[in-house]
């Protein structure tokens, strides 16, 4: 059986993420010490982190800024979430 030949017109392969290297651009959510999702903006990373924290409050969630190499702990309280929903 012949193997298919790849042409140059096909899409590029996915970007390979390595678990042993920290991300180099954007913002990343860190869940219990492990790098997870990458985002272009801090707002998108925080929104994702807050959604996870609301569903699983026992998780330790941090936002990692790759440009400044800074981790920020994401604090979440049910009271602040209820107030922000009522304000809308």
- d(CA 17, CA 1) in angstroms, rounded, equals 32
> Higher-confidence residue: 77 or 34?
34
Write the burial class of residue 6 (CB in 10 Å: 0-12 exposed, 13-18 middle, 19+ buried).
exposed
Nearest to 47 by CA among 19, 81, 14, 71: 81
Other CB atoms within 10 A of residue 22 CB: 11
Mean pLDDT of 3-14: 63
Count of residues in the chain: 88
- Looking at residue 85, its pLDDT comes to 44
Domain ranges of the chain: 27-87
> Higher-confidence residue: 36 or 6?
36
pTM, 2 dp: 0.65
């Amino acid at each position: 059986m012949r193997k298919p030949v790849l042409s140059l017109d096909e899409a590029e392969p996915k970007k390979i993420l390595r678990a042993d290297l920290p991300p180099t651009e954007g913002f990343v959510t860190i869940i219990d010490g492990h790098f997870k999702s990458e985002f272009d903006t801090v707002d998108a990373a925080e929104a994702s982190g807050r959604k996870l924290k609301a569903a699983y409050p026992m998780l330790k969630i941090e936002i990692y800024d790759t440009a400044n190499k800074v981790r920020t702990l994401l604090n979440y309280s049910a009271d602040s979430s209820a107030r922000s929903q009522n304000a809308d």
